Structure 1
Amino acid sequence: MSARPAAPWSYRLLTWLLLALAHLPLAILHGLAGVIYLLLRYVVRYRWGVVLENLRNSFPEKSAAEVERIGHQFYWHFAQVVVEILKLAAISPAELRRRMRFVNPELMTRHFAENRTVLSLGSHRGNWEWILSGAALEFPGRAAGVYKPLTNNFFEYFMRRLRTRLGADAVPMLATLRYLVQHRGEGRTLSLLTDQAAGKDDRPYWTEFLHQEAGFYTSADRLAQQLDCAVLYVGIRRVRRGYYEVKFTELPDGRAVAAGANSPDDAQRFPATEAFIRQLEADIRATPEQYLWTHRRWKHKRPENQ
């Protein structure tokens, strides 16, 4: 765990407050989520316009009433995720195991048996922060996640604490390749949330995603090919309040990426990313309220020369 940053005394008070809240039973925290829902949706109206725009564009076949209903369901889901993420600061391993069920862990462990690195491609769906800690308990000593460091020293420290306290490694984005090379041949999994919006300087793979053109990062394909990694899609869904189900799906691995590396067809050059997108799209359609609609997923546009 990273050292506590030098910070104003108010940060220490904030730490005590957050930890005190985290020690409350989840039943109480879920009650608090109702207050958060009302504040986000009706008082602050946090990105309500962005949410509605994303939903309308993603589901043009749905009526205005249906879109608004999904929007309300999303805010209720999001409020629950907020308190559940905070709970990671105090939740016991036994309780998290009880609340996180891995449907088919054998898809992961068979690669570990071959001492192969697995790239686990996830998204901002379900409770994305619980996945890493749950995997650290399901696969002890083998789980790590890539994250983008925060600019605020306190929240960088606190979020890293949440992510690593149950045994996972947290890898800064720029250290991804170094981490993979360092642990190559050890049979580990590295989690990447790959649904963020890639900009023109990120060499994105452009494709249609939920009826809209979107650019996706291709780092999974490039890393898989370079280091002969297996690749799994990580699907997570809320089955009831505070309980989640995780299911792995095999995606094209590093060898498959290498086989299509010289293809003029982008979908064949980036098969892991393409397969990830289609799996994610299907999952979002199944439970649209469980996706993070507040981010501007489609803010970048394909350059005219691509």
Structure 2
Amino acid sequence: MIKPYPWYYRPLNRLLRGLAHLPLSVLYGLAEVMYFLLAYVLRYRQKVVLKNLRNSFPEKPENEILRIQKAFYRHFAQVMVETLKLAVMPAEELKRRVWFSNPEVMERHFAQGRTVLGLSSHAGNWEWVLTSGAAWLSAHADGVYKPLSNPFFESFMHQLRTRTGAGLIPMRDTLRDMLQRRGETRVVSLLSDQAAGPEDRPYWTQFMNQDSGFYTSADRLASRFHCPVVYVSIRRLRRGYYQIILTELYDGDAPLPANEFLVTEAFVRQLEHDIHAFPADYLWTHRRWKHKRPVSEPVS
């Protein structure tokens, strides 16, 4: 249940919704101003971005790292205005801007009445993945998310993410939701590249040249509920247009070995491939590698 936000956020709500009504061409002009501010004035998380890039691409010269950094800030600013546009964008326009090249990868499982787990990441425009999936796919789409602490932004983002018919599941309620809706025909989308802390019992592996801990919920849910698992790759074709390519990681039938996390490992390798192909389109401001592998944890 979304909590009401304080009255003094109402002017901000009107401002954001007013901006959302502007044409995307105008919003992209605003994004150029935001890009300049983020990259050159505020230097938003610049140390984090450069550290992440240098550690992820040790083979690249510094001038290439700086080029990717600048391209990332421009992409990030564009994603921000594209996300804002969700407040008023019709589902038909979103479907025109996000092309699912092979929806049959999921549709064949929907035809059997199954729940599919869709594993996506903070690449391309991750906010358009769930919302466009609700417009493209024949089954209902739900997204697992971390609720925001600020009541206004939690309410605002909730409305944006559900406008095209998608549902949202707080991360802490994922297992309960899967139990209550067992066997329902739908896709449950998980942003699976978030940094898992020690309390989450993460799966540790090498990702982008660094030790990385990943949530293991995909393997656990797929094994318990016999869900097929699909990797969701979103690639920017040009400004404001994306392609989604689906890759099946697990068919939901063969038993998954316990404590090997084959699904998560397959997701990591697919994501790594995408990042190498489109390095500027990943969320480098994210403190993805803030946790360290315990000394007692074996190297996989």
TMscore range, shorter length: over 0.9
Residue in structure 2 matched with residue 163 of structure 1 by the alignment = 161
CA contact (8 A) 2:110 2:139 kept: no
- Which position in structure 1 is the counterpart of 2:228? 230
Query: Partner amino acid for 2:188?
Result: L
3-state SS, counterpart of residue 126 of structure 1? coil
Tell me, yes or no, if the aligned pair for 2:139 and 2:185 is still in contact at 8 Å.
no
Does the 8 Å CA contact 2:231/2:249 hold for their aligned counterparts? Answer: yes
Kept in 2, the 8 Å contact 1:141–1:168? The answer is no
Query: C-alpha separation between the residues in 1 aligned to 2:38 and 2:274?
Result: 25
Q: Work out the CA distance in 2 between the residues paired with 1:244 and 1:137.
A: 14
Once the two structures are TM-superposed, the CA of residue 93 in structure 1 deviates from its matched residue by 1.4
Q: Would you say the 8 A contact 1:232–1:248 is kept in 2?
A: yes
Provide the C-alpha distance between the structure 2 equivalents of 1:91 and 1:4, rounded to a whole number of angstroms.
Answer: 24
Letter in 2 for 1:303: P
Change (3 A) 1:41 1:21: same
Percent identity of the aligned residues?
61
Q: CA deviation at 1:290?
A: 0.2
Equivalent in the alignment of 1:205: 203
Q: CA RMSD in A?
A: 1.2
How far is 1:182 from its partner?
2.4
Equivalent in 252, 257, 263 of residue 260 of structure 1? 257
Picking from 281, 291, 296, the partner of 1:290 is 281
* Contact kept in structure 2, 1:231 and 1:251, CA below 8 Å: yes
Query: Which residue pairs with 2:244 in the alignment?
Result: 246
For the residues of structure 2 that align with 1:24 and 1:94, how far apart are their CA atoms?
A: 18
What is the alpha-carbon distance in structure 2 between the residues aligned to residue 172 and residue 4 of structure 1?
14
Residues of 2 paired with 1:202 and 1:64: CA distance? 35
Alpha-carbon separation, structure 2, partners of 1:255 and 1:115: 14
- Distance in 2 separating the partners of 1:6 and 1:242: 31
Matched residue SS, 1:248? strand
Q: Which of 73, 77, 84 is the matching residue for 1:75?
A: 73
Aligned residues: 297
The CA deviation string for residues 185-218 of structure 1, in whole angstroms up to 9 with x for no partner, is 2210000001011111111111101111101110
2:119 matched residue in structure 1: 121
In structure 2, what is the equivalent of residue 17 of structure 1?
A: 15
Aligned mates of 2:43, 2:252 — CA distance in 1? 44
> Residue type of the partner of 2:4?
P
Which segments of 5 or more consecutive residues in structure 1 lack a partner in the other structure? none
Q: TM-score normalized by structure 1?
A: 0.94
Q: Which residue number corresponds to residue 275 of structure 1?
A: 266
DSSP 3-state at the match of 1:224: helix
- Look up the SS of the partner of 1:244 in the other structure: strand
Distance 1:63 1:232 in 2: 35
The separation in 2 between residues aligned to 1:3 and 1:141, in whole angstroms, is 24
Amino acid at match of 1:85: T
CA distance in 2, matches of 1:292, 1:23: 26
Partner Cα separation in structure 2 for residue 5 and residue 37 of structure 1: 32
Other structure's SS at 1:301 match: coil
Contact 1:231 1:253 in 2 (8 A): yes
Supply the distance in 1 between the matched residues of 2:138 and 2:177 (Cα, whole angstroms).
17
